[in-house]
Amino acid sequence: MLTSPQVTSSDAARQVGQRTRRKIAACAIALGALALIVVASLVLGVRDVSLPVVWEALTAPVAGDVDHQVIVGQRVPRALVGLAAGLALGVAGAVIQGITRNPIADPGLLGLNSGASLAVVCAVWLLGLTAPSQFVWFAFLGAAAAAALVFSIGSGQPVRLALVGATVTALITPLITLVLLRDPQAFNLYRFWAVGSLTGRGLETLTVVVPFVAVGAVLAAGLAQRLNMLALGDDVARGLGQRVGVTRAVAGLTIVLLAGAATALAGPVALVGLAVPHAARRLVGTDYRWVLALSALLGPVMLLGADVIGRLLLPGTELEAGVVAAAIGAPVLVAVARGRKVAGV
């Protein structure tokens, strides 16, 4: 009888160790997949380039070499944009689902996509801006304004946040349509940006947005344990000493920084922020310390993977990453909508 508690304790410790090793293995596999996707993003496309040529372009580019120009001028910025936007979308989706306890929450649910879209349309219409590096600030500010409105009206309540976000989107969408009907130039630029793409975004756009992604990622990491407590319910979280209002305020700022930056970079890419956290929870469980870490890896895997697939689907042309990502994420949304149990939400 005296050895039974020791055996039980040993078994429990062994199970914890096994779960931890599985989580580490999942993160390691995701990191390896990300490395492979980055390499594929540099090698594959309408114009395939061999690995030795890619290495030469990165280490000793030759002026006038067409392959080197494609790698350095187009594919490297494209891969970096995919990394930054994918990480931001994956982590933002995990934070949104954690703070709202809503399994179908993503940046679009809180009106960020519609807010960014309206700001971009108005910037093109009123100011005549034409380049992503010019209207990136407007996309970011529009997303931030929409999120601030939703959080201020929603009062941090999960159901109310979703309802207010849907209402804000419904109000903004006709305004976007009205502007597009009045300005053909705005329509032409908007239809390219709104579909969600990694092309046409140079390093100058990336340098503007990356600091916001970095700050948002740091804030998200600091929220991990708080999200674990909040998953138990507001009353339990308060009983454990958490200031729920402060947690929601910091989470709101984190969402604005990450989702706003991703939308400004790649356009309103759909379903990455929805699908990635679900995949992460399937692999590592409900602990948000692991969910956030894995989402930061799986987000770029999904977005860059969609971009690479889009280059290969139609020979001689490309399909935008936002279209492919939506096709990948749609089955996840259908599964959740049909009531399939998703752990931790």
User: pLDDT at position 286, please?
Assistant: 86
Neighbouring C-alpha atoms within 13 Å toward the C-beta of 311: 20
d(CA 159, CA 329): 23
User: pLDDT at position 243, please?
Assistant: 82
**Which residue type occupies 162?**
A
User: Positive or negative CA dihedral for 116, 120, 121, 123?
Assistant: positive
Domain range summary for the chain, segments of one domain joined by +: 22-337
User: pLDDT at position 302, please?
Assistant: 94
Q: Are 303 and 82 in contact (CB under 8 A)?
A: yes
Question: Hunting for tokens 């890419």 — which residue is that?
Answer: 269
pLDDT tens for the 345 residues of the chain, in order? 444 455 466 766 777 778 888 889 999 999 999 999 999 999 988 778 888 888 888 888 888 788 888 888 889 999 999 999 999 999 999 998 888 887 777 887 778 888 888 888 888 888 877 766 677 788 788 888 888 888 788 765 667 777 888 888 888 888 888 888 887 777 777 777 777 888 877 787 788 888 989 999 999 999 998 888 888 777 787 877 778 778 888 888 898 889 888 888 888 888 888 889 988 988 998 889 999 999 999 999 999 999 999 888 877 778 888 888 888 877 777 776 665 544 444
What the block records as the tokens of 10 is: 């040993």
Quickly list H helices, the chain: 4-43, 51-59, 66-70, 76-100, 112-127, 132-154, 158-182, 184-194, 203-230, 234-239, 244-266, 272-284, 288-313, 321-337
Tell me the whole-structure pTM to 2 decimals.
Answer: 0.86
d(CA 97, CA 107): 10
Indicate the DSSP class of residue 317: S
CATH class of 22-337: mainly alpha
232 to 95, 175, 250: CA distances (angstroms): 15, 40, 18
Residues 169-196: b if buried by 16+ CB within 10 A, e if exposed: beebeeebeebbeebeebbebbeebbbb
Conformational region of residue 283, where left means phi above 0, alpha means psi within -120 to 50, and beta covers everything else: alpha
214 to 35, 175, 236, 261: CA distances (angstroms): 20, 32, 31, 10
Return the closest-CA partner of residue 294 out of 56, 69, 22: 22
Question: Hunting for tokens 């939703």 — which residue is that?
Answer: 150
What the block records as the tokens of 340 is: 């399939």
